[in-house]
Amino acid sequence: MNTESHSQLAAFIWSVADLLRGDFKQSQYGRIILPFTLLRRLECVLGPTKADVLEAAVQHQNKPEAVREKLLLRAADQPFFNASPLTLGSLSDTQTSDDLMSYVQSFSQSAREIFEHFEFESFVQQLSANNLLYKVVQQFAAIDLSPAQVTNHGMGGIFEELIRKFAESSNETAGEHFTPRDIVHLTTSLVLTGQEAKLKPNSIVTVYDPTAGTGGFLSESDEYIQQVSEEVTVSLHGQELNPESYAICKGDMLVKGQEVERIKLGNTLSDDQLAGERFDYMLSNPPFGVEWKKVQKQVTDEHKHRGYDGRFGPGLPRVSDGSLLFLMHLVAKMRTRQDGGSRIGIILNGSPLFTGGAGSGESEIRRYLLQHDMVEAIVGLSTDMFYNTGIATYIWVLSNNKPAERKGKVQLINATGRASKMRKSLGSKRQYINDRDIDDIVRLYGTFEETNESKIFPVETFGYRRITVERPLRLNFAASAERLAKLDDEKAIQKLDDAEQAELKAACEQLGEQRYTNRDTFTKALINALKAEGLKVSAPLQKAILSALSERDPEADTCLDKNGNPEPDAGLRDNENVPYNESVFDYFEREVKPHVPDAWIDEEKRDELDGRIGIVGFEIPFNRHFYQFTPPRPLEEIDADLKACTDRIKQMIEGLSA
């Protein structure tokens, strides 16, 4: 069944919403249509073995619940069963709600639980109260959702289409629930390509998505692995925050024969329900640019108290964007190299590439990933690829077991030109990546060669040391009327009473308007003037007077500290980013000294981790590496265009005045 057929079937299912108009709000349509679609799918999957299950239910009715459940599962030949003789098509028209709830309660526990997350019973009662339940049931009973008609992959597509319609009708953002299939396919292909050695027959591989949504990544990875390798058991794991998305994901896993207990409900960052687990492959599309204030306490506590034993050892990003927290969460779930290692594919917006300067949480996370040689490739995608945002996005591919030729290197792939316009946009999604372009991008990644679209860099390329460049403080001093007036602005002087302030000003006036270019000379003159008036001032007060009566002067003498060293001028302080592998002194002599001969490096500013001069920073300026300079047009050509334009305007004016 192709994508167009999925869309047609999804549109047909959605047409049930016509029955709901007037009695329900638009935002409630999806909450009714989604669980009914899932219920009908489960019913169709169980259809072929229903008679066997009913027979087994009678035969084993007196056995203990746990034993009976196992026997019914065996009869159903599925990881779930329904022991009721009812079907949607056979529900009574007089007591539909009672029959329907009895039918749903007859599912095995894992399936029954899914309907609880949809708050199904509440909506059944509302439908019944509005005399709509039987009509809705009849509509769904007539839709063929059997596996012969609709594959599991097709069913995933139908669910996604329905969720998107649900999100549009309730002004929600569909992108919070699922990732477009083309992006899922590309990310999965990048992570799983060339993994034949790991996907051997009779092996078991684990796949994990910490932001599972409706299970798109899990389904796609399962399908990909089954296509490239026979007899591989794929164990899917995930966690999802939204109860409805979670219910759909669980339903999808159920009909695929997966163990639904491995799909968890809850916030991955604050409540990791698969803590301590390790996975072979991990795929995720965390929310872009979403703040993590709600879980700030738990995350910060884990960072402080558990350090590198927890998930967030290297650092924390700013609270306005939690994307990198999800990335660190995945890194913490990698298998060790000795155990075969792990691969990660995660979709992020642009900010994790460069936000945050040297020493910031973001920079320290990038530093950790790059210095531990985990970043294999970053693929830049075009804009308008997602349902709820048009921003540019990037797929990061990470591994802690890189092949020899990739060790110490990072591949950047510019796939912004690999996008096709959609016939009809879906939300913000106006472009998609077709199968041919997906194959080409995966090939660019696989061949690992330099082209116009593929650049390869040593890890150190992205590192730098931020050194602090100081210049000497040079001040002149005078007791002019203008500067004396500034004494009133100094806090230390404001604390004196009026009489003390007047005495102080009078003493300063004795210095006259002579201009001093040496601070020590002026300080001596000031102390003598104060003594002459019988005044003795504290160090803070003296500092305040010097501040008010001074001005920067590049011609003045350098101010020296008590050890005779030049005192730095905070106003002239600057930073320089020195390439990571270069000596900071060589760089300084070449790039700074010729322009400011009196400057020096503040050697006290050292990196916390390696103790060397300068704070280490890491950033990945993706676009800079693919920038192509386009020279401006020749002036003659521009002049000719302007002349042609002004001639046209002249003719139009002449035509109007004629």
Is residue 25 left, alpha or beta, with left meaning phi > 0 and alpha meaning psi from -120 to 50?
beta
Residue 567: C-alpha distances to residues 318, 343, 573 (Å): 34, 52, 11
Say whether pLDDT at 339 is over 70.
Answer: yes
Q: Which residues pair with 475 in a beta bridge?
A: 552
Of 559, 635, 568, give the one whose Cα is nearest residue 601. Answer: 568
Most confident of 146-155, 254-263, 363-372, 619-628: 363-372
Say whether pLDDT at 2 is over 70.
Answer: no
Distance CA 160, CA 214 (A): 8
Cα atoms in the Cβ-side hemisphere of radius 13 Å centred on 446: 14
Residue 148's CB is within 10 A of a number of other CB atoms, namely 9
350-364, 489-503, 555-569: range with lowest mean pLDDT:
489-503
83-97, 146-160, 367-381: range with lowest mean pLDDT:
146-160
- 185: tokens are 């396919």
19-23, 46-50, 370-374: range with lowest mean pLDDT:
19-23
DSSP 8-state code for residue 626? G
Of 348, 407, 416, 339, give the one whose Cα is nearest residue 381. Answer: 416
Say whether pLDDT at 570 is over 80.
Answer: yes
Say whether pLDDT at 650 is over 60.
Answer: yes
Q: Which residues pair with 348 in a beta bridge?
A: 394
Q: What is the mean pLDDT of residues 559-586?
A: 94
42 vs 4, residue with greater confidence: 42
- In one-letter notation, the amino acid at residue 614 is G
Distance CA 528, CA 289 (A): 62
5-19, 308-322, 555-569: range with lowest mean pLDDT:
5-19
Task: Scan for tokens 């968890």, then name that residue.
Answer: 264
Distance CA 636, CA 95 (A): 85
Q: What is the mean pLDDT of residues 276-284?
A: 95
Supply the pLDDT for residue 461: 95
Residue range 1-172 in CATH 1.20.120:
no
298 vs 289, residue with greater confidence: 298
Q: What is the mean pLDDT of residues 251-273?
A: 88
Say whether pLDDT at 51 is over 90.
Answer: yes
pLDDT per position as a tens digit, 164-207: 777 666 555 544 556 888 899 999 999 999 998 888 888 899 99
Q: How confident is the model at residue 420 (pLDDT cuts 50, 70, 90)?
A: confident
Helix, strand, coil distribution of the chain in percent, nearest 5: 50, 15, 35
Of 227, 197, 454, 453, give the one whose Cα is nearest residue 343. Answer: 197
Supply the pLDDT for residue 565: 92
Supply the pLDDT for residue 4: 60
Q: How confident is the model at residue 580 (pLDDT cuts 50, 70, 90)?
A: very high
Burial class (CB in 10 A: 0-12, 13-18, 19+), 393: buried
Supply the pLDDT for residue 175: 45
Say whether pLDDT at 23 is over 80.
Answer: yes
Distance CA 56, CA 73 (A): 10
Q: What is the mean pLDDT of residues 206-223?
A: 90
- In one-letter notation, the amino acid at residue 398 is L
Distance CA 592, CA 595 (A): 6
Supply the pLDDT for residue 63: 87
Distance CA 343, CA 339 (A): 13
Supply the pLDDT for residue 419: 87
Query: Phi then psi for 647, rounded to 5 degrees?
Result: -65, -40
Q: What contacts 541, CB < 8 A, 6 or more positions away? A: 492, 493
Supply the pLDDT for residue 658: 63
Of 290, 282, 264, give the one whose Cα is nearest residue 335. Answer: 282
Q: What is the mean pLDDT of residues 341-370?
A: 95
Burial class (CB in 10 A: 0-12, 13-18, 19+), 120: buried
3-17, 191-205, 472-486: range with lowest mean pLDDT:
3-17
Whether the CB-CB separation of 374 and 333 falls below 8 Å is answered with no
Cα angle: 390, vertex 396, 399; to 5 degrees: 165
Whether the CB-CB separation of 133 and 236 falls below 8 Å is answered with no
Say whether pLDDT at 45 is over 50.
Answer: yes
pTM of the model: 0.84
- 657: tokens are 């005045």
Q: What is the mean pLDDT of residues 592-608?
A: 95
Whether the CB-CB separation of 164 and 426 falls below 8 Å is answered with yes
Q: What is the mean pLDDT of residues 497-519?
A: 89
Supply the pLDDT for residue 174: 43
pLDDT per position as a tens digit, 98-135: 999 999 999 998 899 899 988 899 999 999 999 999 99
Average pLDDT, the chain: 90
Of 461, 452, 386, give the one whose Cα is nearest residue 422. Answer: 386
Percent of the chain scoring above 90 in pLDDT: 61
Domain extent listing, the chain: 1-172, 475-552
Supply the pLDDT for residue 273: 95
Distance CA 537, CA 499 (A): 14
Percent of the chain scoring above 70 in pLDDT: 97
Supply the pLDDT for residue 176: 52
231-235, 333-337, 577-581: range with lowest mean pLDDT:
231-235
Q: What is the mean pLDDT of residues 46-52?
A: 94
